Amino acid sequence: MHQHHQRFNRLRHLLCAGVTSAVLLGMTAGVAQALDCSITLQTDDALRFLPSHIVVPTQCKDFTVKLTHTGYLPPLAMSHNWVLTKKSDLDGVARTGMLAGAEAHHVDQTDKRVIAHTKLIGTGETTSVTFAVAQLKAGEPYVFLCTFAGHSPIMRGTLSVQ
């Protein structure tokens, strides 16, 4: 009987260890799945991006920015886009984007300083863009802005890779 009891205790310990391992594996798998490689930004008639700072995890292969417009003014007055560039290139990208015109979504398609961008959207619309994280460098200051005519001086945010 004593031997049977020892065998039962060993089996119970093995079973507990197995369940604990499975739970721990499940938890670490859950952590890996929790890596968020996307963000939704809201914009409106107040010339702002919410949130105004994006953190891109270095572990992401690609990152997606979804832009939604919740304002009320007509598109001719209040369209928005999302354009990513290095901080040092902000003014140049804003200038070439504004000159590109609405047909080009206020983005100069030949401007190599533009890392990623969405199309222009109006009230009630949504758009998104996905870009490779490998083209960004940790520690480099990045900015995003709306290049619709007159919006870039106010409508901006920052992006960092961590």
We report the CATH number of the domain holding residue 132 as 2.60.40.420
What is the Cβ-side half-sphere exposure of residue 42, based on CA atoms within 13 angstroms? 8
Shared domain check, 60 and 7 = no
In the predicted structure, residue 154 carries a pLDDT above the cut 80: yes
Shared domain check, 141 and 92 = yes
Residues with Cβ within 8 Å of residue 159, at least 6 apart in sequence? 53, 54, 55, 56, 84, 136, 142, 143, 144
Shared domain check, 103 and 151 = yes
pLDDT of the residue at 1: 53
In terms of pLDDT, which residue wins out, 117 or 16?
Answer: 117
In terms of pLDDT, which residue wins out, 9 or 107?
Answer: 107
Round the average pLDDT of the chain to a whole number and report it.
86
| Look-up of token digits 């739970």 | 23
Signed CA dihedral, 85, 89, 91, 96: sign only = negative
Rounded Cα distance, 126 and 44, in Å:
12
> Average pLDDT, stretch 15-39?
54
Shared domain check, 111 and 74 = yes
Q: Point out the least confidently predicted range of 9-18, 32-41, 73-82, 122-131.
A: 9-18
Shared domain check, 47 and 23 = no
35 band by pLDDT with thresholds 50, 70 and 90: confident
Shared domain check, 138 and 58 = yes
Shared domain check, 11 and 76 = no
Rg (CA), the chain: 24
In terms of pLDDT, which residue wins out, 7 or 55?
Answer: 55
Shared domain check, 97 and 62 = yes
Total domain count for the chain? Answer: 2
Shared domain check, 29 and 53 = no
Q: What percent of the chain has pLDDT over 90?
A: 75
Residues with Cβ within 8 Å of residue 90, at least 6 apart in sequence? 143, 145, 152, 156
Shared domain check, 86 and 137 = yes
Q: How far is CA 32 from CA 28, 35, 61, in A?
A: 6, 6, 13
In the predicted structure, residue 149 carries a pLDDT above the cut 50: yes
Shared domain check, 26 and 12 = yes
* Structural domain for 21, as ranges: 1-34
Q: How far is CA 57 from CA 49, 62, 76, in A?
A: 20, 10, 36
Residue 25 zone, left/alpha/beta (φ > 0; ψ -120 to 50; rest): alpha
pLDDT of the residue at 50: 98
- Alpha carbon 49 to chain centroid distance? 12
> Average pLDDT, stretch 109-124?
97
> Average pLDDT, stretch 132-137?
97
Query: Exposed, middle or buried by CB within 10 Å (0-12, 13-18, 19+), for 137?
Result: exposed
> Average pLDDT, stretch 133-148?
96
In the predicted structure, residue 18 carries a pLDDT above the cut 80: no
Shared domain check, 135 and 70 = yes
